[in-house]
Amino acid sequence: MVRDSACDVVVVGLGYVGLPLCAAASQTGLAVVGLDVDPDRVRAVNAGEVVADDLSAAAMGELLGAGFEATTDHAVIESAQAVVLCVPTPLSDGGGPDLANVRAAARAIAPRLGRGQLVVLESTSYPGTTDEVLAPTLEAGSGLRAGTDFHVAYSPERIDPGNPVWGVANTPKVVGGLTAACGRAAADLYRRFVARVVATAGPREAEMAKLLENTYRHVNIALVNEMAVFCDELGVDLWAAIAAAATKPFGYQAFYPGPGVGGHCIPIDPNYLGYKVRTLGYPFRFVELAGEINQRMPGYVCQRIARLLNDAKKPVNGSRVLLLGVTYKPDVADERQSPAIELARRLDELGADLAYHDPFVAEWGWAPTARPLAREADLDRAVADADCVVLLQAHAAYDLARLAATAALVLDTRGAMDGATVERL
């Protein structure tokens, strides 16, 4: 018997992915409950605090005003029509995804699963996770059959934090069900709050689609990063070359060099595919090469800073180096895996007198042992005091023309600045 559902969807894991999903579903009238194992997160969410970049205080207020509530009590599963898992899948020591949170969440919800319910996994992982890990764990704990008694599907999260145009509601949603009926159930759920649902043959194709998207970015960023290194030696302005190539109306998409890749997706997710390919006995060479090139970029940026200072007859040791923008992408507060951390560690090792500014980060440290620095309170003064200013993220709040006009020396790793004292990566 299909149980009577008091709530349309329970979102498990209230982070960067789960909360925007709650908001999008709630906005179209679905009854949504949030479930998290972290009582602090649940308290903060219920208090309307801003805990994810894309949900402002007003959006949190709207979500709570619509009847949304967060809880640590797994009993809510029993009243739900659908359960969507958005729990973290960090990189494990073995290079693959650590699926402990997925397993733990599945074990906790399994005893409460009922016939006709839908369980969707949104966490990023390698192809096979939904049918090899999630479905068997749910079956073992519920005594029910996946695909027969309840529905299971995979739908990758494609959120781009800080993107003002593309959000949950207007980014096409890829959905792959364990069976055709599972796929239909998941598509029906997402169609209620996402404009376009794209069905794949099964969960593995949906899992692979997500990894293909991120691997594509990872590899193309590595391509231009490698080119940035030799273009400097060849005396070629790569930024101008990219701008010229980008005028081609077909067959080319512009990617830009930078100080390295960061965040939870690009430096991590392609490894999940590399890990799975290694089980076949051979490497995924593109991913491994891209990883190697992108990881070297903070070290290369450090060398370029040393060269700039050297040209000004200054050693790195004792020079004031001001890092601007320490998050992993512009206009978000997320510092996870930011290449700024490795760059700061290297500059610190060379004896640089480090300072930083970031409108989104009030306090910042680059190693477990390094004492966190407070953000420079007066940006103009910090720029005037610096021997070298390094633009790592071109946050919209920065007046780049003013920075270029007032700084003694600038290394611009984003190709966003011009001026006599500015050198681009």
Ligand X SMILES: NC(=O)c1ccc[n+]([C@@H]2O[C@H](COP(=O)([O-])OP(=O)(O)OC[C@H]3O[C@@H](n4cnc5c(N)ncnc54)[C@H](O)[C@@H]3O)[C@@H](O)[C@H]2O)c1
Residues that bind ligand X (CB under 6 A): 12-18, 35-38, 41, 86-89, 101, 104-105, 122-124, 157, 159, 161, 264-265
CA-based nearest residue to 377, from 367, 362, 396: 362
- Which is closer to ligand X, CB of 36 or CB of 207? 36
In 101-172, DSSP assigns E strands to 118-121, 151-154
Host H or E run for residue 44:
helix 39-46
SS (H, E, C) 181-232: HHHHHHHHHHHCCCCCEEECCCHHHHHHHHHHHHHHHHHHHHHHHHHHHHHH
> Which residues, 6 or more positions from 38, have their beta carbon under 8 angstroms from its beta carbon?
72
- Which is closer to ligand X, CB of 41 or CB of 424? 41
Residue with tokens 């500059």: 347
Residue nearest to ligand X (CB): 15
Which one is catalytic: 7, 265, 302, 388? 265
- Which is closer to ligand X, CB of 17 or CB of 416? 17
Q: Phi and psi (nearest 5°) for 223?
A: -60, -50
Quote the least distance from Cβ 412 to ligand X, whole Å: 26
Quote the least distance from Cβ 35 to ligand X, whole Å: 6
- Which is closer to ligand X, CB of 265 or CB of 322? 265
Task: Give the sign of the dihedral formed by CA 331, CA 336, CA 339, CA 341.
Answer: positive
Annotated catalytic residue 265: yes
Quote the least distance from Cβ 336 to ligand X, whole Å: 8
Quote the least distance from Cβ 85 to ligand X, whole Å: 8
**How many Cβ atoms are within 10 Å of 281's Cβ, its own excluded?**
6
Quote the least distance from Cβ 107 to ligand X, whole Å: 9
How, if at all, do strands 151-154 and 173-177 pair? antiparallel
Question: Collapsing DSSP states into helix, strand and coil, what is residue 124?
Answer: coil
- Which is closer to ligand X, CB of 14 or CB of 134? 14
What amino acid positions are annotated as catalytic residues?
A: 265
